[in-house]
Amino acid sequence: MEKKKRLELKEKGWTEQELKKAERIMEHDVQQSKSFSRLVFWSALIVILFANLAVSLVLIPFLIVFSAVVLYSVIVLLGISFGFLYNFLISTVGTMHKGHHRWTNILVPIVAMINIIIVVLASNFFISKLESNPVTQNPFMAGIVFAIAFVLPYMILKLFFKK
């Protein structure tokens, strides 16, 4: 508790024992708040990772049917959308350490890129089984495009909205 607040409470007649009890209660609330923030933070991270996987699976038909221009447009749109969603979820948990944010800012784009690569490889496998011979997409390029689009909202917010 702040010294100023402590003095005000003493002037109002609070005893030392009452002040210590109030400090313990407030400290307990802060600890609970931090625990809850950690739970929300890691839950949001898990939701984002599973959402990336779901988006990757949804892209399989698009990889088989669309041309490269349309495919990459869809990938960029999805990457930017999930990037903004990720930034919103993670930035709302303000009490986390910067190390947690740095860790997720590295981990999530890597996982997103790996998801896209796996799905593109799977779609290329399905395309090779088709009787016609459509063009297959480069899985590494699709993964890189998605990862860049995913990180782009974070970079924009950091560059233009510095706090």
Q: What is the pLDDT of residue 38?
A: 74
Q: Compute φ and ψ for 86, nearest 5 degrees.
A: -60, -50
| pLDDT, tens digit, 9 for 90 and up, residues 31-58 | 666 677 777 777 877 887 787 778 777 7
Domain boundaries, the chain: 43-160
Distance CA 84, CA 16 (A): 49
Please write the tens of the pLDDT for every residue from 54-91.
877 777 777 777 788 888 898 899 889 888 887 777 77
Amino acid identity, position 62 = F
Q: Where are the beta strands (DSSP E) in the chain?
A: none
CA 134 – CA 2 distance, rounded (Å)? 70
Say if pTM beats, i.e. exceeds, 0.85: no
- With cut-offs at 50, 70 and 90, classify the pLDDT of residue 136: low
Instruction: Give the separation between CA 143 and CA 47, rounded to whole angstroms.
Output: 19
